[in-house]
Amino acid sequence: MASSSSSLIHHLLLLLTLSSAVATTRHRPTASHNYRDALTKSILFFEGQRSGKLPSNQRMTWRKNSGLSDGSTMNVCIFLPRQRLKILEECKPVDLVGGYYDAGDNIKFGFPMAFTTTMLSWSVLEFGGIMKNEIGNAKTAVRWATDYLLKATAHPDTIYVQVGDANKDHACWERPEDMDTQRTVLKIDRNNPGSDVAAETAAALASASLVFRKSDPVYSKILLKRAIRVFAFADKYRGSYSDGLKSYVCPFYCSYSGYRDELLWGAAWLHKATRSPAYLNYIQTNDRTLGVDQNENIFSWDNKHAGAKILVSKAFLVQKVQSLHDYKGHADSFICTLVPRVPSSQTQYTPGGLLFKMHDSNMQYVTSTTFLLVTYAKYLTQSRSVVSCGGAIVTPRRLRTIAKKQVDYLLGDNPMKMSFMVGYGPRYPQRIHHRGSSLPSISAHPAKIDCGSGFSFMQSESPNPNILVGAVVGGPDEHDRYTDERSDYSQTEPATYTNAPLVGTLAYLAHSFGQI
């Protein structure tokens, strides 16, 4: 009897254990993808975009040093104290070595580089605590940009906003390591202002100062001090950089939305970084004139209004700054344009479910929007709030579900059954519009490949010899069609500002599904 009783108890315990395991499995969310792997690769991508002298721990080893004389075509002169009634002048070449190439070409555009930096920093600030082993790589990616931005803003009331002539560069197809096109240096100053690029640069420096506040307080203080100075310049000397530099920056990174959104965005980041009442007062006094009431439903390197609304809403929702109450409504209005089947929905989705904004590199809008969705969901959860969309209640969980669906589409859950991140999954783009990736590396082909010769590689149907791991391409059209051809830059070209916000979203997803 004792043995049969013991056996019965044993079976009952086994059944309880199994049922418990089934229940646990049933309630644990299932990950659609390896978000941790995608996170690692999304950060690694930035090493492939580096300009300047590469460090010994460079992981994207097919890339080598490039642009080592950037800035040298421009001299800056300073007057020295009088000596025996003579006024001496000392002139030195400007040092603009470093930074990132924005996309598949060899130009350093300051406007999108600054936005990339801000979004990388925001990704780290919101989700760095759950990045585990990748936090060091993410901070390194931020610092590669800020080291350059400190050089670009070294002289008061002057910002060097571009290195290279895009029209001449685009007439060539050559490796960054072989560049022989003119490295024209463009700047803004008091006489030729650029409040848009200046305020975005201030936002980048201010947000990065928060990234390094604990780990490198000295560097953090340098970044914040510079951010304050740069924002003051942006605000005092108002104007769009596209006006004075139109032939160089348009149509590449023309400031179509003007500079008001960047002033609001820059002030929001400086308020967050300094906690100074001066920036809070600036936001409250100027937000109407800076366009906070505009109900755009896009967030990009050009238009920052939506990002500013979400960022400032945190001060009300989480920090309980009551005077910023209206920003909850502003942020809700933006979010409601994205949610399908609510009265104020304004966003087009492809038949396969991809958020679709524009034909030219649409995936940049997907990654920037999904970051705002998961970030706002975080703020709402912390404050136990929801979104009200014309009577329809939208929960933080719904926002996260929308964001996850977009990322899953990007990683392979789409009609093409392919990942739009290079190196992720079994099927991904092979012929991306990217010079360094498409041309043989210096290790494989040490001889110089000059300007015109590279086009034979560009026009080839062979896969790119160098895998730009983590690069997110422009993506499919509104019908979910994707053409894997180098010549179709709108679909096959990657960009730093596409990857930067994705870093934060992937960190959130990887943590949510227990992968990190």
CATH label of the domain that carries residue 169: 1.50.10.10
In whole angstroms, give the CA distance from residue 512 to residue 499. 20
Do 500 and 472 form a contact (C-beta atoms < 8 A)? no
**Which among 432, 439, 437 has a CA at the least distance from the CA of 484?**
432
What string of DSSP letters covers 153-185? T-STTEEEEEES-HHHHTT----GGG--S---E
Q: How far is CA 298 from CA 24, 120, 140, 189, in A?
A: 40, 18, 29, 29
The average confidence (pLDDT) of the chain is 92
Cα–Cα distances in Å, from 211 out to 57, 165, 220? 22, 32, 8
Residue 152 in domain? yes
For the whole prediction, is pTM greater than 0.75?
A: yes
Q: Are 47 and 63 in contact (CB under 8 A)?
A: yes
Going by the DSSP 8-state scheme, the letter that residue 134 receives in this structure is: G
Which of 23-37, 233-247, 254-268, 484-498 is least confident? 23-37
Closest C-alpha to 71, from 187, 200, 178: 187
Q: Nearest to residue 442, comparing CAs of 465, 421, 422? A: 465
Using CA atoms, how far apart are residues 405 and 258, in angstroms rounded to an integer?
A: 32
176-198 residue pLDDT tens? 999 988 899 999 999 999 999 99
- Mean pLDDT for the stretch of residues 378-391: 95
Read off the pLDDT of each residue in 115-136 and give the average, rounded to a whole number.
97
Closest CA to 366 of 381, 348, 380: 348
pLDDT at 245 over 70: yes
6: helix, strand or coil:
helix
Q: How many whole angstroms separate alpha carbon 497 and alpha carbon 266? A: 17
Run of H or E residues at 93: strand 89-93
**Residue 393, strand partner residues:** 388
pLDDT category of residue 32 using cuts at 50, 70 and 90: confident
Q: In the predicted model, is pLDDT for residue 15 greater than 90? A: no
Q: Which residues of 316-339 are buried (b: 16+ CB within 10 A; e: fewer)?
A: bbeeebeebebbbebbbbbbbbbb
Using DSSP bridges, classify how beta strands 158-163 and 108-109 pair: parallel, antiparallel or unpaired: antiparallel
Answer yes or no: is pLDDT of 491 > 50: yes
Average pLDDT over residues 140-159: 97
In a domain, 24, yes or no: no
For residue 412, tell me if it sits in a domain. yes
Q: How many domains does the structure of the chain reveal?
A: 1
The answer to whether residue 259 sits within a structural domain is: yes
Q: Hey, what long-range contacts does 13-19 have (CB within 8 A, 24 or more apart)? A: none
Predicted pLDDT of residue 393: 95
Q: Using CA atoms, how far apart are residues 1 and 397, in angstroms rounded to an integer?
A: 54
Q: What is the mean pLDDT of residues 337-365?
A: 94
Q: Is 182 a domain residue?
A: yes
Task: Give the DSSP letter string of 285-336.
Answer: HHTTTTTTT------SSS--HHHHHHHHHHHHHTT--GGGTHHHHHHHHHHH
Cβ neighbours for 448, distance < 8 A, ≥ 6 positions apart: 178
DSSP state of 133: G
Exposed, middle or buried, 91 (CB in 10 Å: 0-12/13-18/19+)?
exposed
**Residue for token pair 């994207």:** 60
If pLDDT is split at 50, 70 and 90, which confidence band does 75 have?
confident
pLDDT tens column, 39-51:
999 999 999 999 9
DSSP one-letter string for 364-407 = HHHHHHHHHHHHHHHHHHHTT--EEETTEEE-HHHHHHHHHHHH
Q: Is residue 21 part of a domain?
A: no
Token pair of 15, please? Answer: 């059944």
Give me the active site residues, please.
Answer: 433, 484, 493
Return all residues near 113 (Cβ < 8 A) that are at least 6 apart.
99, 100, 102, 145, 148, 149, 496
Band of the pLDDT at 156, cuts 50, 70, 90? very high
pLDDT of residue 7: 46
Read off the tokens for 441: 């590396």
pLDDT of residue 21: 37
Asked whether residue 6 is assigned to any structural domain, the reply reads no
Judge whether 27 lies within some domain: no
Q: What pLDDT is recorded for position 89?
A: 67
pLDDT for position 297 = 87
pLDDT value at residue 396: 98
Q: How confident is the model at residue 4 (pLDDT cuts 50, 70, 90)?
A: very low
Q: Which residue range forms the structural domain that includes residue 236? A: 35-513
Question: How far from 295 is each of 327, 332, 335, 446, CA to CA, in Å?
Answer: 12, 11, 10, 53
Helix axes 363-382, 396-411, angle to 10 degrees: 150
Percent of the chain's residues with pLDDT above 90: 87
Q: What is the pLDDT of residue 237?
A: 98
Q: Computed from CA positions of residues 430, 460, 183, 58, in that sequence, does the dihedral angle turn out positive or negative?
A: positive
